[in-house]
A and B are shown apart, each in its own frame.
Chain A
Amino acid sequence: MKGRLAAAFATGVSIPMIAAMAALPRHGSPDQPIHTHVARHYIEQAPESANLVTQVLLDYRGMDTFGEVVVIFAALVAVLVLRARGERPLPAPSPSPIVGFIVRLVTPFFALFAFHVILTGHEAPGGGLQGAAILGGLVLMNGIVFGPERARAFLPTRALPWLQGAGPLAFLAAGILGGITTGFALGYPAHLPVLHEAMLVGVELGIGIGGAVIFSRLYLAMEA
């Protein structure tokens, strides 16, 4: 009964949705508003080497990206606040020597790749969040294979409350710096190319490291 109801509801919702999608302008036709209005402006203004997506995300729509970084942070504090205390920790798994060896072997390469993704984000596909997920996945992988203690060893305990907020804090710093140099909060100074580059890299690094810490803490909050 419940399943039928859900199926009927899903059908009832999806039919108008599909109908509306069919009524939308055909995907990719060049004279549609989606291609002629702000998007065209972004493409015409972009410098040659830049990754357009990251340009839009960090520059034109930097405020949104800031908000998204805060969303991830909010998810972490929401989990930390409700985690049950005093539960017995799971017994540490005894990894097979083969799996252990392979994980130890690939860990540095993984980390290198993650930082590559973070740092080249503004020129190629990639960026802070993707790198953060790879770095965080690396910590999780170590935790699952060797037990949560090993995962915790990756995180500096003292600096943790600062590092987990690295994403929003980097954005705030860039926002203030941009405000001073361009007169507008979250502006990027085009006339100071070195500072501009430094701000972009700083924000990406903040998102990457902060995000990785957040993913790892989400995992540790459940394990211990």
Chain B
Amino acid sequence: MSVVAVALGLLGAFFFMAGTVGLLRLPDFYSRAHAAAKCDTVGAGSILLALAIALGPGLAGLKLLGLVILILIAGPTASHALARAADRRGIEPWTREEG
């Protein structure tokens, strides 16, 4: 059990790391938002999942699972709303020819 938990935790940490690097290095708003969304969904999601597994069956673990579901719903919605708002504002996506 704990092997799975550790693996999931490491996976989450990796996605957080990758997302943060992407946030700093990617060229425009849309790609940065894309990277940040990974931190939320996959990163936080798998870390919470790891914690739920580590805690074992019980109320606390169930609450954590609920949180995972909430994050899986809320994270992508927020990214979608952000990207849509940026598009409405007329922010152009980056393309190689311009840069």
- B64-96 contacts to A, CB under 8 A, are 70, 73-74, 77, 80-81, 84
Query: Please, how many angstroms separate the alpha-carbon atoms of A99 and B85 in the complex?
Result: 12
User: Whole-angstrom distance between the alpha carbons of A99 and B77 in the complex?
Assistant: 6
Is the beta-carbon distance between A106 and B73 smaller than 8 angstroms?
Answer: yes
Q: Which residues of B are found within 8 Å of A106, using beta-carbon distances?
A: 70, 73-74
Residues of B contacting A105 with CB < 8 Å? 73
Q: A99 — nearest CB in chain B belongs to which residue?
A: B81
A159: Cβ under 8 A from any B Cβ = no
Q: What distance in Å separates the Cβ of A152 from its nearest Cβ neighbour in chain B?
A: 22
Query: Does any Cβ of B come within 8 Å of A81's Cβ?
Result: no
Contact B73 A96 (CB under 8 A): no
**How near does chain A come to B28, taking the closest CB pair, in angstroms?**
21
Most buried by A among B70, B73, B77: B77
Query: Closest chain A residue to B78 by CB distance?
Result: A99
Chain B interface SS verdict (over half): helix
Residues of A within 8 A of B73 (CB): 102, 105-106
* A21 at interface, CB cutoff 8 A: no
- Number of B interface residues, CB 8 Å? 7
Give the residue name and chain of the B residue nearest to A98 (CB).
Answer: B80
Complex-state Cα separation, A98 to B70, whole angstroms: 15
Instruction: List, in ascending order, chain B residues with CB within 8 A of A96's CB.
Output: 80-81, 84
Q: How far is the CA of A98 from the CA of B76 in the complex (A)?
A: 10
Residues of chain A within 8 A (CB-CB) of B70 are 106
Report the Cα distance A105→B84, complex, angstroms: 20
In the assembled complex, the Cα of A106 lies from the Cα of B72 at a distance in Å of 12
A98 to B85, CA, bound (A): 13
Which residues of A lie under 8 Å from residue B80 when comparing CB positions? 96, 98-99
In the complex, per-residue mask of B53-65: 1 if CB is within 8 Å of any chain A CB, else 0: 0000000000000
Closest-by-CB residue of B relative to A95 is B81
Encode contact with B along A102-119: 1 for CB under 8 Å, 0 otherwise: 100110000000000000
CB-nearest residue of chain B to A105: B73
Closest to B81 in A: A99
State A105–B73 Cα separation when bound (angstroms): 10
Contacts of B81 in A (CB 8 A): 96, 99
CB of A99 to closest CB in B, whole Å: 5
Tell me the complex Cα distance, A98–B80, Å: 8
Residues of chain A at the chain B interface (Cβ within 8 Å): 96, 98-99, 102, 105-106
**Shortest beta-carbon contacts, A-B, top 6:** A102-B77, A99-B81, A96-B84, A98-B80, A99-B77, A102-B73
